[in-house]
């Protein structure tokens, strides 16, 4: 039998009793299905009558709880057909490329077809991205824990752990034995243990208010009293019997058809008469029965061939029923508090238990860490890894205190790695980060942190990019509650929290990760060469598979719902967008973005990810990291784009790194600096710029400070010329990178004060040393580093006070390769840079449009920032000269010492 509903629906249909689940987050109206149902009442036997509510497509025998099928209106999650132009952004940008335009149209059609397929199994896109509500371990409102896992290649599934002596038979589900559906989702119920001397609950479906206060939920009213009141106030006489025994009707039907005296073969079963014939036969058989006090029913055949029968009720009873509300208050009154649960039961899988999932596969038995596990300890020092059941008692579970900050118009992001955030040679913790790093970020003037390496990974030296467990925070830093506290404390300081998410590939580890998860290669990943990254040894996701989409999209939603994450940087998109993983020569020809090497399924996944995230969480921020700058990264989905809010300009940091290491100062190309930093003028406002991020310090690279200052151990003992050059360029690079681009800037932890050492994680090649896997915060006490920090702090404050990043894009009006001077205007601000290594200028003429007085707001050469103080304070105020320069009506004659930069602000306008 093919079940055309979602895996989450399978969990409900397998559940022996109904449960009520409420969403813990605000939903978007476009993601909700439009319910459509009719009420029918049918007579099934001589003594029993049952009232059934079912959708138009359901049969009466499917009385188990089901989700509503989505209406057509619910499917149009984004813009619908109206207002959609699959090539709209090409028209806007004036790009004419027939092949790419055709590709975008075909991609849009594929997106519509994909959604049609999705809606055959999922109620809507919210349902597609909410698998974490059912998969993995979940406490049920009754006395049990439910476990659900996707493993289509397995033929036997069990949960093994220290709670059951690692037995593969105690908590199991076999194919065809109440636990495996057509899509490969296994469902196992772990019943809580009844304590010695306690009797089972009177109600099989007894619910407990397990997650709230200790005894909240106990009404103090006995079950008999509640049912008596329900009989008097709500139920028609005799109806409450089906609440006490929900299986009475189907059991009798089953016994009639397949009981000991029923037919044993298909031949004996013969053809079952239609419902109307059986109803008339029953009515004839029971025509002499005494009258019932239940409502009367009858069957009317309206003569339509496609109508088998209509069951109708008398008008008085129908009107009486229509005014009734669901009897939920009576059900909730039967709930008991957690105190009552603790008295009667002990958990079958206690909090902190170690467990794994056991499969029997065509290739033999194997154990895996569940894919949806939320807390994992990966194997270390040769020990087996395992999941940890994380279900702290409500009084110990973290309670959120702070609301999320409003999303600022300009992002100043502080990129962090928790493990290397401490000064000591060891792995630092979430708690250390909270106490030491968050206050520094706030003081430095940033308004967001971006964390990488937080999602669980087996090997620390991989920096967290070979993810093994996508729903788990890394146990090496602390517990899930510790990470919630980190996010909450950051929000309390006004800091947004972004996560560097890696959905472009996954760890190839089989014992801890997802590779060959159920014994087959085609579970989460492509088979053969396509399933392996060409150079990194990682596994590549099969984005065209609905269940893989279900996993990845649910993962994104999980981090927002569970941990209140404010945004994501999607790591290394070129690895997933192209089958060559981005390792190819790109000339910029549009054909390279729509040829046979482009993975359309990966692009559709990114579109769905942005569509769902922005619909469910309107304030979410998504950032694309793509070295190939795929066209339309930040364009609206309705206009043929991928829907990201920002994209990362990777070429800027590559340019600075190349200049610092390979090009003499006097040969720096000013036009290349400007063109690299501004990028594509059409999308500059959507650009995230950085002078250097963690990549410049990791993977064999060096920080700019290490390049500029060399291997000086104590900077006070270094060459004065070397230190002066290093400090000057360090500040100038950050100033121009910060102010010339769009509305987003990023800095890696420690680089704001010139951290002098690269990052090197402990591994075999360095004898597993932690000496370079930390941050030297004590350097902030040293004069030079303190000066660099003060300058960076002033730079962040300049934007906070003057809103530099949110102003109109700069007008770059002066670029001189001979003098090495760059100047541009942004609003009332004038930025001037002299990159020349030796030449200073006493009266350098730079054009301005507005006549008036200009005052220096920020000067890289001030002594407190580690400069020489060549510009005296009486020179900070300059008045324009009425002379046309750089195509502008006026000019300033300013002092420009070598390797310095100044920011002027128009303080008073002069009317001529």
DSSP letter for each residue of 447-510:
SEEEE-S-EEES-GGGTT-SEEEEEEE-TTT--HHHHHHHHHHHHHTT-EEEEEE--S-B---T
What gap in Å lies between CA 824 and CA 835, rounded to an integer?
14
What gap in Å lies between CA 542 and CA 514, rounded to an integer?
12
Q: Quick one: average pLDDT of 687-700?
A: 85
Which residues contact residue 778 at a Cβ distance below 8 angstroms, ignoring those fewer than 6 apart?
Answer: 423
Residue (of 491, 499, 505, 493) closest to 474 by Cα position: 499
Q: How far is CA 32 from CA 155, 412, 518, 553, 561, in A?
A: 35, 35, 33, 17, 17
Which residues contact residue 382 at a Cβ distance below 8 angstroms, ignoring those fewer than 6 apart?
Answer: none
Confidence of residue 899 (pLDDT cuts 50, 70, 90): very high
> If 0-12 CB within 10 Å is exposed, 13-18 middle and 19+ buried, where does residue 588 land?
exposed
Q: How far is CA 416 from CA 1, 419, 790, in A?
A: 51, 9, 20
Residue 781: alpha-carbon gap to chain centroid: 38
Q: Quick one: average pLDDT of 651-658?
A: 94
Q: Strand pairing partners for 877?
A: 855
What gap in Å lies between CA 44 and CA 131, rounded to an integer?
37
Confidence of residue 294 (pLDDT cuts 50, 70, 90): low
Is 49:294 a contact under the CB 8 Å cutoff?
yes
Confidence of residue 338 (pLDDT cuts 50, 70, 90): confident
Q: Strand pairing partners for 811?
A: 825
22-47 as b/e: b if 16+ CB within 10 A = eeeeeebebbbbeeeeeebbbbbeee
pLDDT tops 70 at residue 73: no
What gap in Å lies between CA 3 and CA 121, rounded to an integer?
9
What's the pLDDT score for residue 174? 72
Confidence of residue 41 (pLDDT cuts 50, 70, 90): very low
Q: Specify the higher pLDDT residue, 295 or 615.
A: 615
Confidence of residue 159 (pLDDT cuts 50, 70, 90): very high
Flag the least confident range among 155-159, 276-280, 355-359, 462-466.
Answer: 276-280
What gap in Å lies between CA 912 and CA 883, rounded to an integer?
13
Parse the chain into domains and list their residue ranges: 87-122, 123-208+247-260+310-397, 650-909
What gap in Å lies between CA 160 and CA 147, rounded to an integer?
12
Q: Specify the higher pLDDT residue, 400 or 313.
A: 400
Is 434:354 a contact under the CB 8 Å cutoff?
no
Flag the least confident range among 23-27, 593-597, 712-716, 793-797.
Answer: 23-27
Q: Strand pairing partners for 500?
A: 569
pLDDT tops 70 at residue 149: yes
pTM tops 0.95, yes or no: no
Confidence of residue 192 (pLDDT cuts 50, 70, 90): very high
pLDDT tops 70 at residue 43: no
Confidence of residue 75 (pLDDT cuts 50, 70, 90): very low
Is 411:500 a contact under the CB 8 Å cutoff?
no
pLDDT tops 70 at residue 737: yes
Q: How far is CA 159 from CA 132, 222, 898, in A?
A: 18, 36, 69
Flag the least confident range among 197-201, 678-682, 701-705.
Answer: 678-682
pLDDT tops 90 at residue 840: yes
Residue (of 432, 435, 434) closest to 422 by Cα position: 432
Q: Sign (positive/negative) of CA torsion 148, 151, 157, 159? A: negative
Is 757:706 a contact under the CB 8 Å cutoff?
yes
Confidence of residue 175 (pLDDT cuts 50, 70, 90): low
Name the residue with tokens 């702070």: 402
What's the pLDDT score for residue 79? 43
Rounded to a whole number, what is the distance in angstroms from the first to the last CA of the chain? 86
What are 121-136's pLDDT values in tens digits? 999 999 999 999 999 9
> Which residue in 415, 625, 706, 802 is the catalytic one?
625
Confidence of residue 288 (pLDDT cuts 50, 70, 90): confident
pLDDT tops 90 at residue 379: no
Name the residue with tokens 């996508």: 470
Confidence of residue 16 (pLDDT cuts 50, 70, 90): very low
Longest CA span, the chain: 117
The 8-class DSSP code of residue 122 comes to: S
pLDDT tops 70 at residue 13: no
Name the residue with tokens 């996707």: 150
What's the pLDDT score for residue 672? 96
Is 739:831 a contact under the CB 8 Å cutoff?
yes
Confidence of residue 719 (pLDDT cuts 50, 70, 90): confident
Q: Judge whether 625 counts as a catalytic residue.
A: yes
Residue (of 753, 741, 747, 662) closest to 705 by Cα position: 753
What's the pLDDT score for residue 526? 94
Confidence of residue 591 (pLDDT cuts 50, 70, 90): very high
What gap in Å lies between CA 285 and CA 307, rounded to an integer?
24
Helices 98-119/546-563 angle, 10° precision: 80
Residue (of 446, 551, 509, 438) closest to 136 by Cα position: 551
| Average pLDDT of every residue of the chain | 84
Confidence of residue 862 (pLDDT cuts 50, 70, 90): very high
What's the pLDDT score for residue 308? 55
The answer to whether the 123-208+247-260+310-397 and 650-909 domains have the same CATH topology is yes
Phi, then psi, of 690 in degrees rounded to 5: -150, 150
pLDDT tops 90 at residue 701: no
What's the pLDDT score for residue 309? 55
The number of beta carbons lying within 10 Å of the beta carbon of residue 538 is 25
What gap in Å lies between CA 55 and CA 65, rounded to an integer?
11
Is 446:496 a contact under the CB 8 Å cutoff?
no
Is 706:718 a contact under the CB 8 Å cutoff?
no
Q: What percent of the chain stands above pLDDT 70?
A: 83
Residue (of 886, 729, 725) closest to 815 by Cα position: 886
Is 445:433 a contact under the CB 8 Å cutoff?
no
The number of beta carbons lying within 10 Å of the beta carbon of residue 724 is 16
The number of beta carbons lying within 10 Å of the beta carbon of residue 584 is 12
pLDDT tops 50 at residue 37: no
What gap in Å lies between CA 277 and CA 281, rounded to an integer?
6
808-831 as b/e: b if 16+ CB within 10 A = eebebbbbbeebbbbbbbbeebbb
Is 188:150 a contact under the CB 8 Å cutoff?
no
324-346 as b/e: b if 16+ CB within 10 A = eeeeeebbebbbbbbbbbbebbe
**Mode of pairing for the β-strands spanning 376-377 and 364-368:** unpaired
The SS3 assignment for 424 reads coil
As a residue count, the chain comes to 912
Is 143:193 a contact under the CB 8 Å cutoff?
no
What's the pLDDT score for residue 307? 56
What gap in Å lies between CA 895 and CA 872, rounded to an integer?
10
pLDDT tops 60 at residue 67: no
What's the pLDDT score for residue 178? 58
pLDDT tops 70 at residue 293: no
Q: Strand pairing partners for 310?
A: 300
Confidence of residue 332 (pLDDT cuts 50, 70, 90): confident
Select the highest-mean-pLDDT range: 274-288, 323-337, 682-696, 780-794: 780-794
Residue (of 776, 477, 463) closest to 487 by Cα position: 477
What's the pLDDT score for residue 311? 62
What are 474-519's pLDDT values in tens digits? 999 999 999 999 999 999 999 999 999 999 999 998 888 999 999 9
Is 173:179 a contact under the CB 8 Å cutoff?
yes
Confidence of residue 830 (pLDDT cuts 50, 70, 90): very high
What are 603-619's pLDDT values in tens digits? 999 999 999 999 999 99
Helices (H), 286-394: 315-322, 328-333, 338-344
CATH of the structural domain 650-909, one choice from 3.30.420.40, 2.30.30.240, 2.60.40.1180, 3.40.50.1000: 2.60.40.1180
What gap in Å lies between CA 696 and CA 691, rounded to an integer?
9
What gap in Å lies between CA 654 and CA 692, rounded to an integer?
9
What's the pLDDT score for residue 10? 39
What's the pLDDT score for residue 291? 66
Q: Quick one: average pLDDT of 203-225?
A: 81
Q: How far is CA 17 from CA 11, 28, 475, 706, 762, in A?
A: 11, 29, 35, 64, 51
Beta-strand (E) ranges in 16-169?
38-43, 49-54, 136-139, 144-150, 156-161
Q: Quick one: average pLDDT of 861-868?
A: 95
The SS3 assignment for 757 reads coil
Confidence of residue 764 (pLDDT cuts 50, 70, 90): confident
What's the pLDDT score for residue 242? 56
Q: What percent of the chain stands above pLDDT 90?
A: 61
**Mode of pairing for the β-strands spanning 890-896 and 841-848:** antiparallel
Class of the 123-208+247-260+310-397 domain?
mainly beta
């Amino acid at each position: 039998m093919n079940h055309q509903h979602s895996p989450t629906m399978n969990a409900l249909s397998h559940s022996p009793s109904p449960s009520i689940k409420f969403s813990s987050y605000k939903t978007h109206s476009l993601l909700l299905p439009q319910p459509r149902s009719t009420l029918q009442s049918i007579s099934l036997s001589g003594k029993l009558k049952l009232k059934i509510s079912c959708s138009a497509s359901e049969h009466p025998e499917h009385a188990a709880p089901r989700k509503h099928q989505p209406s057509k209106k619910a499917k149009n999650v984004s813009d619908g057909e109206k207002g959609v132009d699959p090539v709209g952004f090409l028209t806007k940008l004036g790009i004419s490329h027939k092949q790419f335009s055709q590709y975008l149209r075909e991609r849009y059609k594929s997106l519509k077809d994909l959604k049609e397929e999705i809606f055959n199994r999922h109620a809507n896109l919210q349902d597609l991205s909410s698998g974490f509500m059912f998969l993995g371990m979940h406490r049920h409102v009754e006395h049990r824990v439910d476990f659900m896992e996707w493993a289509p290649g397995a033929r036997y599934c069990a949960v093994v752990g220290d709670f059951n002596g690692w037995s593969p038979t105690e908590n199991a589900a076999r194919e065809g034995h109440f636990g495996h559906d057509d899509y490969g989702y296994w469902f196992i119920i772990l019943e809580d243990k009844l304590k010695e001397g306690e009797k089972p609950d009177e109600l099989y479906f007894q619910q407990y208010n397990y997650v709230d206060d200790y005894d909240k939920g106990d009404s103090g009213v006995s079950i008999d009293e509640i049912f008596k009141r329900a009989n008097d106030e709500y139920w028609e006489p005799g109806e409450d019997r089906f609440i006490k025994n929900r299986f009475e009707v189907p059991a009798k039907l089953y016994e009639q058809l397949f009981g000991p005296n029923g037919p044993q073969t298909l031949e004996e079963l013969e053809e079952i008469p239609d419902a109307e014939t059986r109803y008339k036969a029953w009515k004839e058989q029971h025509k002499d029965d005494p009258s019932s006090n239940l409502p009367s029913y009858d069957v009317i055949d309206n003569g339509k061939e496609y109508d088998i029968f209509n069951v109708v009720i008398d008008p008085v009873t129908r009107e009486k029923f229509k005014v009734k509300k669901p009897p939920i208050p009576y059900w909730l009154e039967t709930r008991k508090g957690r105190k009552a649960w603790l008295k009667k039961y002990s958990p079958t899988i206690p909090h902190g238990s170690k467990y794994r999932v056991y499969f029997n596969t065509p290739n033999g038995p194997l154990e895996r860490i569940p894919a949806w596990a939320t807390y994992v300890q990966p194997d270390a020092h040769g020990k087996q890894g395992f999941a940890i059941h994380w279900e702290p008692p409500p009084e110990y579970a973290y309670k959120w205190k702070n609301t999320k900050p409003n999303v600022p118009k300009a992002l100043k992001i502080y990129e962090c790695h928790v493990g290397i955030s401490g000064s000591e040679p060891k792995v630092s913790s979430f708690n250390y980060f909270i106490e030491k790093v968050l206050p520094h970020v706030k003081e430095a003037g940033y308004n967001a942190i971006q964390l990488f390496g937080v999602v669980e990974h087996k090997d620390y030296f991989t920096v967290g990019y070979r993810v093994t467990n996508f729903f788990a925070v890394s146990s090496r830093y602390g517990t899930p509650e510790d990470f919630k506290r980190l996010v909450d404390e950051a929000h309390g300081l006004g800091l947004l929290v972004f996560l560097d998410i890696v959905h472009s590939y996954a760890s190839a580890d089989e014992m801890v990760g997802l590779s060959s998860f159920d014994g087959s290669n085609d579970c989460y990943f492509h088979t053969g060469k396509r399933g392996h990254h060409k150079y990194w040894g990682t596994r590549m996701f099969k984005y065209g598979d609905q269940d893989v989409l279900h996993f990845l999209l649910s993962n994104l939603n999980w981090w927002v719902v569970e941990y209140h994450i404010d945004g994501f940087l999607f790591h290394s998109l070129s690895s997933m967008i192209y089958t060559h993983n981005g390792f190819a020569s790109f000339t910029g020809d549009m054909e390279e973005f729509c040829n046979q090497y482009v993975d359309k399924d990966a692009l559709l996944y990114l579109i769905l990810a942005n569509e769902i995230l922005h619909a469910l969480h309107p304030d979410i921020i998504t950032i694309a990291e793509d070295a190939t700058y795929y066209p339309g990264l930040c364009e609206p989905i309705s206009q043929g784009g991928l829907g990201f809010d920002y994209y990362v300009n990777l070429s800027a940091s590559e340019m600075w790194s190349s200049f610092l290491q390979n090009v003499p100062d006097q040969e720096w190309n000013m036009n290349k600096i400007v063109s690299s930093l501004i990028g594509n003028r059409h999308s500059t406002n959507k650009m995230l710029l950085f002078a250097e991020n963690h990549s410049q310090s990791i993977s064999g690279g060096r920080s700019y400070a290490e390049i500029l200052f060399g291997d000086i151990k104590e900077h006070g003992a270094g060459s004065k010329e070397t230190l002066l050059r290093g400090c000057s360029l360090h500040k100038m690079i950050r100033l121009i990178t910060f102010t010339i681009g769009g509305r987003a800037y990023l800095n890696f932890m420690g680089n704001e004060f010139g951290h002098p050492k690269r990052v090197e994680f402990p591994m075999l090649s360095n004898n597993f040393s932690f000496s370079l896997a930390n941050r030297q915060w004590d350097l902030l006490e040293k004069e030079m580093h303190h000066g660099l920090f003060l300058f960076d702090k002033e730079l962040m404050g300049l934007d906070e006070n003057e809103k530099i990043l949110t102003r109109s894009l700069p007008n770059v009006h002066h670029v001189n390769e001979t003098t090495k001077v760059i100047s541009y205007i942004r609003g009332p601000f004038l930025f001037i840079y002299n990159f020349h290594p030796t030449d200073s200028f006493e009266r350098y003429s730079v054009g301005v449009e507005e006549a008036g007085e200009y005052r220096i707001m920020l000067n890289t050469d001030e002594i407190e920032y580690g400069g020489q103080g060549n510009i005296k304070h009486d020179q900070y105020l300059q008045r324009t000269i009425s002379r046309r320069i750089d195509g502008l009506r006026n000019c300033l004659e300013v002092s420009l010492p070598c390797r310095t930069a100044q920011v002027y602000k128009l303080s008073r306008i002069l009317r001529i």
